[in-house]
Chains A and B, each alone.
Chain A
Amino acid sequence: MPKPYTPKVVTANHLLAGDVIYQTRDGWSRQLADAEVLTDEAHADLRLIEAAQQTGEVVGAYLADVDTSRGAPAPAHFREAFRAKGPSNYAHGKQTELN
């Protein structure tokens, strides 16, 4: 049996602000919860190519694993958790900007 595909999202940094963004069905969001969850490998690869083509808006797009066991996509790795939240030494970045 083929290995099950770990769900993914396309993430990148915004060209002008430099902050973390996630691809949604029709654009980009600064919240991981809004991201389009990709469960099919071929579709994920296609969405990544589409993202990478938007060079006027995004930088460094890649596929990141997410945990969907509680519904909304959540970071599967601590690096992605920091990207989604911001640094741990100051209340800067996403953790305050999104509230």
Chain B
Amino acid sequence: MYTYTDFDAAFVAERNRQFRAQVERRIDGSLTEDEFKPLRLMNGLYLQLHAYMLRVAIPYGTLSSRQMDQLAYLAEKWDKGYGHFTTRQNIQYNWPELRDVPDMLDALGEVQMHAIQTSGNTIRNVTADHFAGAAADEVADPRPVAELVRQWSTDHPEFQSMPRKFKVAVTGAENDRAVIRAHDIGLRIVERDGVIGYEVLVGGGLGRTPMIGKVIHDFLPEEDLLPYLESVVSVWNQIGRRDNKYKARIKITVHEVGLDEIRRLVEERFALVKPLFTGVDQDHFASIKAQFEAPDFVQKSVGPFNQAYNDDPVFRAWADTNLTAHRAEGYSIVSISLKAHGATPGDATAEQMRVMADLARQYGHDELRISHEQNVILPHVHRADLPAIHAKLKEHGLATANINLISDIIACPGMDYCALATARSIPIAQEIATRFDDLKLEHDIGELKIKISGCINACGHHHVGHIGILGLDRAGVENYQITLGGDHTQTAAIGERAGPGFSAEAIVPAIERLVEAYLEHRTEKSETFLQTYRRTGMAPFKAALYPESKAVAAE
């Protein structure tokens, strides 16, 4: 893992000192709210419906046990004993008081964490594949790239006041687990004839105008990464629209100006920018890479795993669902579900955080990851240790065997917390999970991604859910629109709207009818919901959602 240099530590400490003074000046009346608001947002502090909310960056979703313990400490000392992991691999605290936030930031600084650029019109926390460094299908670990981009973008003087926010995601594998096609810039590490380069996508995004990113460069040489990124952001920073915040993101610029013209402008800019990069970034990149070397994998018998797998059906169900192939022999990647049926997606109590930190310390080479799907990952676990890990997780409500299943739902905080929301998300997720758990159907249904947003800004990624749910305010009543066929992976697609929305009471039965239609129409059990949808199209699902209109059509 990356360890702060003295420069990094001094930078964060200075920013924290400045913010402490800004908070004091706000409280003593020297700063108005209009003056203070941009300062607090630069440090991740929002004012939400019921309280302030502090969004803490977890760069590329990677945490050490010590850092996770500190997140637990913050949750207990300054919040209500829990934290909420988000779709951008961050953690949010929902209940801090203004006076306490500088102390929270200092406590984060002790473990090399901060909340800088988790808000505002800046380059946000860089996200990455949560299986980075562990996945069997990986060309290279994306985290050194993400760390390089993080350092380049942090406090970058040209990019502190842009038309809008800017999000970068990186993956090192063909299988896209980082949703790179829905980011302002998506980077995929590729290998050609033994040489590493980057496929660069631009102009993806969700929100009110969802777009799939387009390839602006199919093989960018490794050493050109930062000058090229700087050129892309710089071109957009100049021509991106500042007259209308709904048209300010780079996806709109690419859409309006055209990919070819953007590419030409970027190349023109690149010719100017490239000579300014003297190669020091590449020397630094080499030193960053050295900090992400794989742990010393051990070799031992997987006998305990095989025995538990044969003897314990609960362990077997969990192992079948929550484990992913690891690149090292005898190892697995463990996904810890933060989606216990009926619980709030992405929430973990301080106690649960400490349990996960301890497990990573004892069995997982001291590493944890946060996934954009709001779960926690132990990336490096020997299979022999899985029975002990499972037993411990079970004691703390963390052994739900539902990764990639219908109850593994992404949900934004929605109107239960968020000032921008137009409807609630969390209770809908809770009800769907509880309902399908009661039906005991979810393992039979198989892979099905439900993603719920409580407003058009799409933090809950509803556009790329196999089933997407968007909560709106229709004449003072919560109303939920369904989209179908979205896909967040390398075969990314924006879901298609199924028809009129449903009330809060009618949405869960509507989802149930959709799933029944899928079970009825799939050719065999291995055909997933998305595959069935792609084969049949909208018609059978629409008929299931709106049986009245089917009856009318049949008359």
User: Which A residues form the contact surface with B (CB < 8 A)?
Assistant: 13, 15-20, 55-56, 59-60, 76-79, 82-83, 86-90, 92-94
Contact, CB under 8 Å: B97 / A16: yes
Contact, CB under 8 Å: B476 / A89: no
- Nearest residue (CB) in B for A16 is B98
- Nearest residue (CB) in B for A97 is B50
Contact, CB under 8 Å: B476 / A78: yes
Contact, CB under 8 Å: B29 / A20: no
Contact, CB under 8 Å: B29 / A87: no
Q: How many residues of B contact A (CB 8 A)?
A: 29
When distances are taken between beta carbons in the complex, the residues of chain A under 8 Å from B49 are: 20, 79, 82-83
A77 CA to B50 CA, complexed, in Å: 16
Contact, CB under 8 Å: B47 / A18: yes
1/0 per position for B14-32, CB-CB distance to A under 8 A?
Answer: 0000000000001101001
Q: How far is the CB of A40 from chain B (nearest CB, A)?
A: 24
Q: Pick 27 A–B contacts, CB within 8 A, sort by A.
A: A13-B47, A15-B27, A15-B98, A16-B27, A16-B99, A17-B51, A17-B97, A18-B48, A18-B50, A18-B52, A18-B96, A19-B51, A55-B32, A55-B33, A78-B478, A79-B415, A82-B49, A83-B49, A83-B50, A87-B416, A88-B416, A89-B416, A89-B426, A90-B80, A90-B344, A92-B50, A94-B50
When distances are taken between beta carbons in the complex, the residues of chain A under 8 Å from B476 are: 76-78
When distances are taken between beta carbons in the complex, the residues of chain B under 8 Å from A16 are: 27, 97-99
Contact, CB under 8 Å: B50 / A59: no
Q: Is B290's CB within 8 Å of the partner chain A?
A: no
A58 CA to B208 CA, complexed, in Å: 31
When distances are taken between beta carbons in the complex, the residues of chain B under 8 Å from A76 are: 476
- Nearest residue (CB) in A for B427 is A88
A82 CA to B33 CA, complexed, in Å: 24
Q: How far is the CB of A60 from chain B (nearest CB, A)?
A: 7
Q: How far is the CB of A84 from chain B (nearest CB, A)?
A: 10
Q: How far is the CB of B237 from chain A (nearest CB, A)?
A: 29
What is the total of A-B residue contacts with beta carbons within 8 Å? 72
Contact partner of B344 (CB less than 8 A), chosen from A55, A86, A89, is A89
When distances are taken between beta carbons in the complex, the residues of chain A under 8 Å from B47 are: 13, 18, 59-60
Contact, CB under 8 Å: B427 / A89: yes
- Nearest residue (CB) in A for B95 is A92
Q: How far is the CB of A65 from chain B (nearest CB, A)?
A: 10
When distances are taken between beta carbons in the complex, the residues of chain B under 8 Å from A59 are: 33, 47
Contact, CB under 8 Å: A88 / B424: yes
- Nearest residue (CB) in B for A60 is B47
Identify which of B32, B95, B477 gathers the most chain A CB atoms within 10 Å of its CB.
B95
Q: How far is the CB of A73 from chain B (nearest CB, A)?
A: 17
Q: Is B198's CB within 8 Å of the partner chain A?
A: no
Contact, CB under 8 Å: B97 / A55: no
- Nearest residue (CB) in A for B51 is A18
A81 CA to B334 CA, complexed, in Å: 40
